[in-house]
Amino acid sequence: MSKHPSHRTRFSDSSYYDEVCIYCGAHDEVPGGWGRLAKPCPEARDQHEISQDLHDLVKAHFNEPVLTDFQVGRIIGYSQDAMDCYMMIRYPNPTKVIHHTMVGGYYFLDRLKGQNLVISTQGEEWDDYFRIDNMLELNGCPKEKEFLLEIDNWNYIVYNNTVRG
């Protein structure tokens, strides 16, 4: 007998049980084993359920610079867990990836296109968007080839502010 993987448990400080499911409230028994946690979770969510609107929004800004918490990074993907939806952002100096909550605290920078535009002697168009993009390129945040996607609804992982490579 073991815990059924469809439950999403957190640890508890109750003296009667150690783990309780955040969906259905089932818990193990101390002593006595897994109790109702051994059976499939009646409130389990679809593993592949994805917040399509948020995903599409992030994808529309793929590889763009984004401002968060007074720092500029590059949007490289979308992730989701049981708790929240996130924009995956790579930051420079030192290079790190943060899963930033979609709830707020981020500013897309595509509106800077065309601002302070000059044409270089080689005929290249340099605007403020290009300058920030270029700054990221030069500091360890090149554009990604593919949009990253991490949907991990079975595992209770809070990505927010977690450094993952």
Per-residue binding letters, 81-110, with Zn ion (x by CB under 5 A): ------------------------------
Q: Which segment (33-41, 50-58, 105-113, 123-131) binds Zn ion by CB under 5 A?
A: 33-41
Minimum distance between the CB of residue 18 and Zn ion, rounded to whole angstroms? 15
- CA–CA separation, 152 vs 154, rounded Å? 6
Does 58 bind Zn ion (CB under 5 A)? Our answer is: no
Nearer to Zn ion, 35 or 92 (CB): 35
- State both tokens at 100: 């930033």
- CA–CA separation, 162 vs 165, rounded Å? 10
Nearer to Zn ion, 39 or 96 (CB): 39
- Sites for Zn ion among residues 12-31 (CB under 5 A): 21, 23-24, 26
Q: Which segment (38-46, 63-71, 100-108, 147-155) binds Zn ion by CB under 5 A?
A: 38-46
Does 41 bind Zn ion (CB under 5 A)? Our answer is: yes
Nearer to Zn ion, 24 or 98 (CB): 24
What is the CB-side half-sphere exposure of residue 156 using CA atoms within 13 A? 13
Query: How many degrees, rounded to 5, is the angle at CA 37 between CA 34 and CA 40?
Result: 140
By CB atoms closer than 10 A (0-12, 13-18, 19+), residue 114 is exposed
- CA–CA separation, 34 vs 141, rounded Å? 46
Eight-class DSSP state of 27: B
Residues that bind Zn ion (CB under 5 A): 7, 21, 23-24, 26, 41
